[in-house]
Chains A and B, each alone.
Chain A
Amino acid sequence: MVIVRPADATPAMLQTAIRNVVGEANVRTGKVKLDIPPLVENGNTVPMTVSVTSPMTADEYVKSIHVFNEKNPQPNIGNFYLGPRAGRAQVSTRIRLADSQKVTAIARLSDDTFWSATADVVVTLAACTEEAI
């Protein structure tokens, strides 16, 4: 029998996690596209795709993509390191969302500028059909 203790990442934790990645740099909105269903059937497995507009050439490319969330116990979701030879700056994975919340993706470009996109996700609760196991 396992029960889940709700413990949210605080906005301060989220800010710290983001600062750990971007340092003092300014994060601008744009260039990044975050595809995540606005309404998901189960927060355990939420498909997510991040893509960044970039020519992906030797002098102009995406170095890394960082994904954060607001309300899971820990603000980090994943860091993805690419480089010019990726050819296309796009990664997909499946994530867990403990509750309806915002998800933020930040990209670091080769000129060390940071760009971001944020999406809201509503998680429908599972029905009354199963208790925790």
Chain B
Amino acid sequence: MRIAACIALLTAMAGAALATEIPLSERRSGYSFMSADTRAMQDEDTANPGMLSVLDGETLWKRKAGTADKACADCHNDARVSMKGVAAHYPAFEKALGKPVDLEGRINVCRTNHQQASPFAYESRDLLALSAYVAQQSRGEPIAAGDDPELAPFVEKGHALFMQRQGQLNLACTNCHDDNWDKKLAGSAITQGQPTGYPLYRLEWQALGSLQRRLRACITGIRAQAYDYGSLELVELELYLMTRARGMPIETPAVRP
């Protein structure tokens, strides 16, 4: 039934006009497409299940780990000060690696280099909790990723991936999120695909999930092979999405249907 809905959509989109980027004044968070009930869940911290992970993250922030026997707090002190605005600049260029890393990747760099512990697995409870805690310190801060000139070629690659048709449905991200964001797909809003709330609590998942998880879901949805967690392609897509969302406030931990 879901497949049928996708095929119907594909047919409807076959004649869609050439993609155009969404102007700043028309950028809308997924929040604005949600029902009042789902918005209320995000608006109030004690009603927002994403805040449970933020709490876990706060505990982990203070917990010593690795051969270095250091906690994040030992080096970064109070996250409310040291991590304010940080997530709004991610993915960022990581000199030592010669490529961009997203916030989860950056936390794992600290985990391996500074704590001398094994990196957290992608989508593990601990990595989600720490990234939610760090990103929540940027709530309300405008997204400002992609300034570093070293990032230019990676933003370009991310943009190309966003425009590229793929999968059995032969659709590109842009076909849904630039051209058809005002439409509905099998009853739910398509939206502009803005990355403002991650990691976020998705009702469908009944759990917190990362932007990479969300992107993999969209890629699987068009019947294409999803890139692996942590792959450069996903980071490039995240980077492009963040530059495309410049100026929009961070909402972490957001709630989405």
Contact = CB atoms under 8 A, between A and B. Distances in A.
Contact of B220 (A37, A127, A131): A131
Given A37-B37, A42-B204, A42-B257, A127 B187 contact: yes
B95 interface: no
A42 B185 CA distance: 14
B221 A42 contact: no
Nearest to A41: B257
A45 B35 contact: no
A14 B187 CA distance: 29
Contact of A128 (B5, B34, B35, B257): B5
Contact of A127 (B5, B38, B40, B41): B5
Given A37-B35, A41-B35, A47-B41, A129 B221 contact: yes
Nearest to A46: B37
Name the prevailing secondary structure of the A interface residues: loop
B121 interface: no
B186 A127 contact: yes
A39 to B, nearest CB: 8
A39 B6 CA distance: 22
Given A41-B34, A41-B188, A41-B257, A129 B217 contact: yes
Interface string A84-111: 0000000000000000000000000000
A40 interface: yes
Interface of A: 37, 39-42, 44-45, 47, 124-131, 133
Interface of B: 1-3, 5-6, 9, 34-35, 37-38, 40-41, 185-188, 190, 203-206, 217-218, 220-221, 257
